[in-house]
Amino acid sequence: MRDLFVALRKDLLLQWRGRAQVVAIFAFGAAALLLFSFAIGPDSLALRQHAAGFLWLGLLLASTLSLAESFEREMEEQALEGLLLLPASARALYYGKAIANWGQLALLGSALVPIMVVLYDAGTLRLLSLLGVIVLGTAGLSAPGTLYAAMTSQIRGRQTLLPLLLFPLVVPVLLAAVKATSLLILGDPMGQVRPWATLLAAFAVVHWSMGGLLFDRVVED
Amino acid sequence: MIAIATAGVSRRYGRRWALTNVGFEVPEGALVMLTGRNGSGKSTLLRVLATALRADMGTVRILGHDAVQQREQVRKDIALLGHRTHLYEPLTALENLAVAARFLRVDSGRPALLARLEEVGLGDRADDLVQTFSAGMRQRLALARALQQDARVLMLDEPYGHLDPPGFLLVDGLLQRLRRQGATVLMATHLVARGRRLCDRGLVLEAGRLVFSGPVSEMPESDADAAGFAEGT
């Protein structure tokens, strides 16, 4: 547990030092939302209906940049290997990084909500529920994303490989998160948000557990 | 006690064998020079011994522990200074040492870490980001980080790399101190004359094969000897 806190502290510090990059990733996500809105055109109803899907697509695209970046710093001087040789627990290193990535993606998702509201006229009064969906959805992205980012970090062409590996795996997260967000924006007369949120939570639990078990095999020779 | 024992160690990258059937023993407390031409397998051997790489064949034992089966125990006993510095570029020198110290559960307070940095001549650059450091300064910091582990067996890959003449003397001093402390050091270097002066034993690799293992006094004259390598002061 102590190693986990040490790893998390290190990753948060690295994120803070790379905050210019985080701003750039946010700008990328915002630009994606803007471009998607152009694709729909000035149809306010269609914009509202598609807002949730575009929010999560923007977040998913931005997440690949953010996740890949988190391992860039580990690999440039083989710092991760240095920690493993100390020896630091691989599991603690994984959870430290995955939690830091989760925090960053949740923050990014929350920051994209006002952009979505402005561009798609897609507001909701259930802001806490929306925040909950973003937290659960980004948990489902960050756990497998951190594992795959580690896996591809030493491979040439990793920028292409990471989304290729990650996107098929997180389709359930995308579906559930879009559905839950859409219900929050467009109305939820049947109370369907909870089952979708439960699906998101279940997916997150499975992948957070698997990530911790598999990380050692991914980063060791 | 035998600090390092290898038998039949082989390691390949793709189809190319970087190490072939390497076997030797190093007694505890010995200072060993590992030399050989570029690409002879020195770095690979050090990385295999340090458990950063796994041998495809053969066994490695460090202080009696198997490097594969008892990897965690071996890692507690070893420190590796590799070609890559194991440093985080966006962190300061002090923060880099603090991260390692916290994992090692040793004093991570500023005074203790500053003392470490003073030791390698970086006391006045403690709060500077590593990305602003020259290659020699990074090497000094990497040395400080490796020494933090207080390991019984140290693998140093080109410890003199990028250093200026005072840096050479610093490494000489560190090696002598490690010897006094009873640590076992395996140092890969091209500075053969210097190695002959400092080390007890020598290992020579040629195209991944161990062609010499014994006292440095019996080491064959190498290309580096013949070329009269400049070795600082």
Closest CA to A109 of A54, A71, A163, A149: A54
Q: Which helix (H) or strand (E) holds A140?
A: helix A127-152
Contacts of B24 (CB under 8 A, 6+ apart): B4, B5, B6, B203, B210, B213
CA distance A16 to chain B (A): 10
β-bridge pairing B201-206 and B209-215: antiparallel
Task: Return the percent helix, strand and coil in chain B, to nearest 5.
Answer: 40, 30, 35
Q: Is 70 exceeded by the pLDDT of residue B228?
A: no
Q: Which two three-digit tokens encode residue B165?
A: 């003449």
Q: Do A221 and B52 touch (CB under 8 A)?
A: yes
- Count Cβ atoms within 10 A of the Cβ of residue B119 and give its class: 0-12 exposed, 13-18 middle, 19 or more buried: middle
pLDDT in tens, B42-66: 999 999 999 999 999 999 999 999 9
Interface test with B, best of A85, A156, A216 (most B CBs within 10 A): A85
Mean pLDDT of A21-49: 90
Q: Is the torsion defined by CA of A181, A184, A185, A187 positive or negative?
A: positive
Q: What is the pLDDT of residue B230?
A: 47
Interface test with B, best of A13, A77, A217 (most B CBs within 10 A): A77
Q: What is the pLDDT of residue B231?
A: 56
Q: What is the pLDDT of residue B23?
A: 95
- Our count of domains for chain A comes to 1
Q: Is B150 on the interface with A (CB under 8 A)?
A: no
Mean pLDDT of A121-143: 91
CA distance A209 to chain B (A): 22
pLDDT in tens, B10-53: 999 999 999 999 999 999 999 999 999 999 999 999 999 999 99
CA distance A216 to chain B (A): 12
Q: Is B7 on the interface with A (CB under 8 A)?
A: no
Q: How many CB pairs under 8 A join A and B?
A: 68
Whether this model's pTM surpasses 0.95: no
Contacts with A, B 46-85, CB within 8 Å: 50-54, 71-72, 75-76, 78-80, 82, 84-85
Confidence bin at A126 (pLDDT 50/70/90): confident
Cα(B108)–Cα(B14) distance, integer angstroms: 41
Closest CA to A142 of A172, A180, A183, A97: A97
Query: Does this complex have an ipTM over 0.95?
Result: no
Which residue in chain B has the smallest CA separation from A71? B88
Domain that holds residue A105: 2-219
pLDDT in tens, A36-89: 988 888 888 888 889 999 999 999 999 999 998 888 889 888 999 999 998 899
Q: Is 60 exceeded by the pLDDT of residue B232?
A: no
Which residue in chain B has the smallest CA separation from A80? B86
Q: Which two three-digit tokens encode residue A36?
A: 């998607």
Q: What is the pLDDT of residue A59?
A: 93
The CB-side HSE value for B167 (13 A sphere, CA atoms) comes to 20
- Residue with tokens 């630091």, as numbered in its chain: A88
CB contacts of A22 in chain B (<8 Å) are: none
CA distance A95 to chain B (A): 15
CB B81 within 8 Å of CB B35: no
Which residue in chain A has the smallest CA separation from B138? A77
